[in-house]
Amino acid sequence: MTGLLEPRAIGMALERVDGPAKVTGTAPYAFEHPVTDPTYLHPVLAGIARGRITAIDTSAAEALDGVLAVITHQNAPRLAAGEDAELTVLQSDEVAFRGQFVGAVVAETSETARHAASLVAVSYDERPHDVELRGDRDDLYAPDQVSAGFPTDTTQGDVDAALAAAAVTVAETYTTAWYNNNPMEPHTTVARWDGTGSLALYDSTQGVHSVRSAVAPVLGLEQDRIRVVAPHVGGGFGSKGTAHAHVVLAAMAARVVAGRPVKFALTRQQMFSLVGYRTPTIQRVRLAADGDGRLSAISMDVVEQTSRIKEFAEQTAVPTRMMYAAQNRRTTHRLAALDVPVPSWMRAPGECPGMFGPEVAMDELAIACGLDPIEFRIRNEPEVDPESGRPFSSRNLVTCLREGGRRFGWSDRDPTPGARRDGGWLVGTGVASSTYPTYRMPGSGATIRFGLGGRYRVEIGAADLGTGTWTALTQIAADALDVGVEEIELRIGDTALPRASVAGGSSGITSWGSAIVAAAQVFRDKFGNDPAEGDQADSTTPENPDADRFAMHAFGAQFAEVRVHEDTGEVRVPRLLGVFAVGRIINPRTARSQLVGGMTMGLSMALHEQSVLDERFGHVVNHDFAEYHIATNADVGTIEAHWIDEHDPYVNPMGSKGIGEIGIVGTAAAVVNAAHHATGIRVRDLPLTLDKLLH
Ligand code: MOS
C-alpha cells in the first residue's frame, strides 16, 4: 500500500495554469513554433485501395514556381527499418489502402504545395480490393493477443450448457460503427534538421518520447539525435498516441530540402485515412440468468477489422471479463485483415465499443427477468474480479448506480416502454455502466530543481492534450513538496526533459504523478525543507507494489433521457447524468471537463458519428465536418458529471484513477436503452439514427 499524499493542492479547482497563454494566443501549437525560412508540405494520396503504382508524372508539379521538391517512391531517401509498414513511407510502389501517402510536394507556400500536389499524375495497376467487414467471413483469424497485451480469448465453465439450462437468455448481435478521431488541432509536424544531422520535430502528439522512439529506428537515428517538442496539443483522443506516417514524411522531406524546415499539417480530409480510427465491431453477446436474475453465463464474441499492412487488435471484449459475476464465461476476438487504413486508438479503445453490446444486452435481460436494470446490475455485482479472482482495489459501481438513480430521479420511472408522452414525443430513460482500467505505465522520470526566486522547477516530458496535465501535475508537485502551487514551475512536452510515458490509457496522471511524488521524496530526503539554489533530485515511476494483488478499475453509471418523435423518429437527448467512482479527484474543474467531454463524445457516438465506407472505392466518403457529424451545442442538452468520494490507497500516491476515457464508456448504451424505453424499439446497431426508430 502506498502512503497517500496529504491533499492540499490536490482537490482544488485551480484554474488552468496554461489558460492565460492559450487565451492570449501565445501557447505554441505544433504549426506555430517559429522556424526560420519554412517550407510547406502537401502530400499526394493513393487514389486506389489496392494495387501498384505504374508511373508517376511529376513534371507539371515541378514546373510550378515555388516548388522545391516532389518526392515519390522513385526518388525518396531510403529509410532504415521497415518493420512498421505504416511508418515506412514512399519505399515501394505498393498501395495498401486508399488515402495512403504516395508522394509529397514541398514548396515555398502551403498554397503552392497544395496546388502542385494536385498536378501529380499517378497511374496504377489496380487490383481488386476487399474492405468489407462481415461476421461470416471465412478468413477471420485470432490475433496472438489483443491491444494492451491481453489474451485474445478467455473461457471458464461451459457457456453453451449454461445457456441451454437457463431460465432467461439474451443472444443478440450488436454493432458499432467505424469512427474517426477528430481532434480540433489537426496532426501536424514541423521538421528541421541541423547541420550536424540532428532532427527537431515540433509535433502534435500525446507523447514526445513515444514519437522519438517510434521514428528513430525508421530514420536510422540514435534517439539522442532527435528532439520532439509538444508543450500544447489541441486534442488527440488516441490518434496522437502513436506516431503516424506523416511524422516520418515530414522528417524525410526536410532532409530532401536540406537545411530548411518543413511544416506539414494534415487537412481534415487527410486525417480520415492517416491517423488511425476506431474499428467497426460486430459483437455477439449471450447472457443467461436464473429465475432470480442472477447471471449464469456471460459470453462476448467480437469481430473487428485491421489493415493488411499492420495489425491492430482492439481489446473490445476485455471489459466483459471483469464487469459482472457469472460462473460460465467466454470472450473471443477475431479479425479481418482488409485493404483499409490502419485502425488504432480512439478514446477508450476496447471499453468504449466493448461496453455497448453487453450493456444493451444487460438492459434486455433485465426486462426479460422483470427486473429494474439498476437492481439487475446490483444483483450481479462480483465479489472479486471474476476471471483473475483478485479483489478490486476499490469498486464502487453499486454506489454510482444508486447515487445516479437518486440524482436522476429513477424511482419515479414507469418501466413500461412507450408509457410516457409529451406532445408528439415519446420519452424514455435508460442506464448503463461505465468502467475503465487504472493503468500505470513504467519508466517515466521526473527532475526537481530548486531555483532562483525560491521556486521548484519540476521537469517531466509529459503531454497536455487539453486535458489539464499542466494544472494537475502542478498540484501534485505542490503537495509532494508540501509547498504552494505558486512555488511550482512545471515543464512538460519536450524530449529534452526526463522521459515520460504516453498520454494514453488514462494513465498519465498515475504514471507521471507517481514519478513526481517519488522525485519529491528524494529531494526532501536529500535537502530537507530549506534547500539551496541548484539543489536537484530525480526519480522514476516506481512499480506499484500492489499491482499483482488487486484488480484496479474505475467505475461509473450513466443515465440518459431520450425523446423520440412519434411521427419522424427524430431523437433528442435533453439530459445525460453520470456518477463516477474514479478515486480522488486532483482538480474538480479539469476533471468535470474530462467527464463531460467524454459523455458528450459518447452522445455523439450514439446519435451521429459514423464513418461511411464506400466499398466500391474503399474509402470513407463523409470525410469532412460537413458530413461526418459530431455533436454540437445544439445537440447537447444538460450533461451532469458527478463523482463519489472514493478512497483507494492502492492505485498510486495521489489515490487517483484515470478519468480521460471513462466518460465515453457506456453513454451510447444508456442512450439506446432509453430509446427502447421511450419507444419499445430495440436498436442494436449504432448510430441510433431516426430510420431505425420508424416502424
Ligand atoms: Mo487514449 S485512446 O488511450 O489516447
pLDDT tens digits, 284-309: 999 999 999 999 999 999 999 999 99
What is the CB-side half-sphere exposure of residue 367 using CA atoms within 13 A?
Answer: 18
Chain-centroid distance of CA 450 in Å reads 36
Pick from 205, 279, 345 the residue to mutate for probing ligand 1's pocket: most ligand atoms within 8 Å of its CB: 345
Q: To 10 degrees, what angle do helices 245-256 and 208-219 make?
A: 60
Report CA(661)–ligand 1 centroid distance (Å): 7
- Tens digits of per-residue pLDDT, 381-391? 999 999 999 99
Pairing label, strands 638-643, 571-581: parallel
Pairing label, strands 425-437, 553-565: antiparallel
Q: Which atom of ligand 1 is nearest to the CA of 348?
A: 2
Report CA(274)–ligand 1 centroid distance (Å): 17
Closest CA to 274 of 369, 216, 342, 353: 342
- Tens digits of per-residue pLDDT, 262-290? 999 999 999 999 999 999 999 999 999 99
Q: Dihedral, CA atoms, 262, 266, 270, 276, nearest 10 degrees?
A: 100
Report CA(507)–ligand 1 centroid distance (Å): 9
Pick from 347, 438, 441 the residue to mutate for probing ligand 1's pocket: most ligand atoms within 8 Å of its CB: 347
User: Contact 538/447 with Cβ under 8 angstroms?
Assistant: yes
- Tens digits of per-residue pLDDT, 414-456? 999 999 999 999 999 999 999 999 999 999 999 999 998 899 9
User: Contact 71/104 with Cβ under 8 angstroms?
Assistant: yes
What percent of the chain has a predicted confidence (pLDDT) above 70?
100
Nearest CA to ligand 1 atom 4: 238
Q: Which atom of ligand 1 is nearest to the CA of 505?
A: 3
Beta bridge partners of 554: 436
Report CA(452)–ligand 1 centroid distance (Å): 37
Q: Which atom of ligand 1 is nearest to the CA of 502?
A: 4
- Tens digits of per-residue pLDDT, 158-215? 999 999 999 999 999 999 999 999 999 999 999 999 999 999 999 999 999 999 999 9
Cα(358)–Cα(286) distance, integer angstroms? 8
Report CA(347)–ligand 1 centroid distance (Å): 5
- C-alpha cell read off for 445: 522520470
Element (H, E) at 457: strand 456-459
- C-alpha cell read off for 396: 464502487
Q: Which atom of ligand 1 is nearest to the CA of 503?
A: 4
Sequential DSSP letters for 193-259: E-TTS-EEEEE--S-HHHHHHHHHHHHT--GGGEEEE-S--S--TTTTSS--HHHHHHHHHHHHTTT
Cα(194)–Cα(437) distance, integer angstroms? 42
Q: Which atom of ligand 1 is nearest to the CA of 238?
A: 4
Within 10 Å of residue 381's Cβ, how many Cβ atoms? 13
Angle in degrees, CA 245, 246, 248, rounded to 5: 70
User: What are the angstrom distances between the C-alpha of 528 and each of 482, 523, 603?
Assistant: 11, 7, 50
Q: Which of 86, 351, 609, 661 is catalytic?
A: 661
Cα(241)–Cα(181) distance, integer angstroms? 11
627 as an active site residue: the answer is no
Phi, psi (degrees; rounded to nearest 5) at 155: -150, 140
Closest CA to 71 of 94, 102, 100, 92: 102
What is the CB-side half-sphere exposure of residue 523 using CA atoms within 13 A?
Answer: 31
- Tens digits of per-residue pLDDT, 327-346? 999 999 999 999 999 999 99
Closest CA to 356 of 284, 437, 277, 429: 284
Cα(644)–Cα(554) distance, integer angstroms? 11
Look-up: residue for cell 521548484? 456
> What does DSSP assign to residue 408?
H
Closest CA to 344 of 423, 245, 436: 245
What percent of the chain has a predicted confidence (pLDDT) above 90?
98
Pick from 312, 469, 661, 665 the residue to mutate for probing ligand 1's pocket: most ligand atoms within 8 Å of its CB: 661
- C-alpha cell read off for 154: 478467455
Look-up: residue for cell 444493451? 360
User: Contact 355/176 with Cβ under 8 angstroms?
Assistant: no
- Tens digits of per-residue pLDDT, 78-134? 999 878 999 999 999 999 999 999 999 999 999 999 999 999 999 999 999 999 999
**pLDDT score at 215:** 97
Cα(457)–Cα(472) distance, integer angstroms? 15
Cα(181)–Cα(659) distance, integer angstroms? 18
Chain-centroid distance of CA 101 in Å reads 24
- Number of helices (H), then strands (E), in the chain: 15, 26
Q: Which atom of ligand 1 is nearest to the CA of 661?
A: 1
Look-up: residue for cell 511524488? 517
Is residue 2 over pLDDT 70?
no
Ligand 1 first shell, C-beta below 6 A: 206, 237-238, 241, 345-347, 349, 504-505, 661
**pLDDT score at 82:** 77
Chain-centroid distance of CA 280 in Å reads 15
- C-alpha cell read off for 271: 486525417
Is residue 1 over pLDDT 80?
no
Report CA(460)–ligand 1 centroid distance (Å): 19
| Residue 60 burial (10 A CB sphere; 0-12, 13-18, 19+) | middle
**pLDDT score at 81:** 80
User: Contact 658/436 with Cβ under 8 angstroms?
Assistant: yes
Cα(586)–Cα(483) distance, integer angstroms? 16
Report CA(208)–ligand 1 centroid distance (Å): 15
Which residues, at least 6 apart from 455, have a Cβ–Cβ distance to it below 8 Å? 487, 488, 489
**pLDDT score at 3:** 81
| Global confidence as pTM | 0.98
Report CA(231)–ligand 1 centroid distance (Å): 18
- Tens digits of per-residue pLDDT, 503-523? 999 999 999 999 999 999 999
Q: Which atom of ligand 1 is nearest to the CA of 660?
A: 1
- Tens digits of per-residue pLDDT, 452-491? 889 999 999 999 999 999 999 999 999 999 999 999 999 9
- Tens digits of per-residue pLDDT, 613-643? 999 999 999 999 999 999 999 999 999 999 9
In 3-state terms, what secondary structure has residue 139? Answer: coil
Cα(228)–Cα(226) distance, integer angstroms? 6
Cα(426)–Cα(566) distance, integer angstroms? 6
Angle in degrees, CA 132, 664, 100, rounded to 5: 35
Is residue 564 over pLDDT 70?
yes
Is residue 359 over pLDDT 70?
yes
Report CA(553)–ligand 1 centroid distance (Å): 16
Cα(282)–Cα(284) distance, integer angstroms? 7
Mean pLDDT of 243-253: 98
